[in-house]
Amino acid sequence: MSGHPLEDAEAATIKAREHLEGWVPELAEPRDLHDALEKAFDFRGDVSITKRDGTVVNGYVFDRRSGRSLEGSAVRIMPAGSAQKLTIAYSDIARIVFDRRDPAAGKSWEAWVRRYWEKKMAGETNIQIEPESLE
């Protein structure tokens, strides 16, 4: 770590997400599924969810609801290339695969603030840092 709080926080965040890219969690127990879907919710890339009927949904997990059972819990996903929003019961999920790429890696608020202060410390004025494209 660098010793700079913003750089250290960003490095820790990136490291925590690195292990998710390409991850295929083992879903042996209901708790495993709950944990994996919590991570999918925090993951900024897409995931592929294979349902028990063999259907595969690839997209961005934007919400999840944890109930008292797998049947009462659901994940909400926006399929890639679609404006549709699907709800999938946890009990219908057989497999989860995290994409190998986090499109927002290195584009955190902390990275933006660091770039701002680097420019300010270099004496620049009228600093306008535009958000970077996620693609």
Query: Domains of the chain by range and CATH?
Result: 5-121 (2.30.30.100)
Rounded-to-integer distance, Cα 45 and Cα 102, Å = 5
pLDDT score of 126 = 77
> Over 70: is that where the pLDDT of 135 sits?
no
**Close Cβ partners of 7 (under 8 Å, ≥ 6 residues apart):** 1, 110, 114
pLDDT score of 131 = 60
Please tell me which of 32-46, 50-64, 119-133 the model is most confident about, judged by mean pLDDT: 50-64
Q: What is the mean pLDDT of residues 99-111?
A: 66
Residue 55 or residue 100, greater confidence: 55
pTM: 0.62
Residue 35 or residue 17, greater confidence: 35
